[in-house]
Amino acid sequence: MTCLDLFCGCGGLSKGFELAGFKIVGGVDFNAPAVQTFQKNFPKAKGVCCDLLKMEPEQIASEFGMKGVDVIIGGPPCQGFSTANRYAEEKRDPRNKLFFQFVKFVDLYAPKAIVIENVRGILTMNKGYAAKRIREIFRERGYSVANSILNAADFGVPQKRLRNFFVMLRDGEA
């Protein structure tokens, strides 16, 4: 199965998917050195350096083709959902809008599955507004939505790192 990583950074999430048997076809991030590292880590994939807020469906199709991808993954910036956030409400933090850039890719490719990784605060900040919106948006598009908080230490990472994972499966794909 093919996998496209949004907010890919150097490819940590992609690496996990690759180890699980997925073919990484591409990654998108606005940080040029991170994309260069991603490209070195995944030489057969296409690393694209751009701002997802400005990437239109036509550019997505141009960069990655219209063939489609099976799974879209990503870890959008999480500072807006962190307990250290300086904004009073997550709705006012402009970084949180990056979450919804997944929708452009989902609408274009209709992947079988979507995985979004973020801090656990996304479930509770501002009464869980972002988590509720994520569930609504993807359910409207025909996906079942589940989430779980996982500790990286339980998976061989030498640190306690609690992260929330949203897993969306297109109806009929379970």
The residues annotated as belonging to the active site are: 78
Burial class (CB in 10 A: 0-12, 13-18, 19+), 51: exposed
- Determine the Cα angle at 168 with ends 91 and 136, to 5°: 40
Q: How far apart are CA 81 and CA 93, in angstroms?
A: 9
Q: Report residue 34 CA to chain centroid gap.
A: 16
Q: How far apart are CA 114 and CA 5, in angstroms?
A: 10
Paired tokens of 17? 């998917």
Identity of the amino acid at 146: A
Question: What number of H helices and E strands is found in the chain?
Answer: 5, 7
- Partner residues linked to 147 by β-bridges: 166
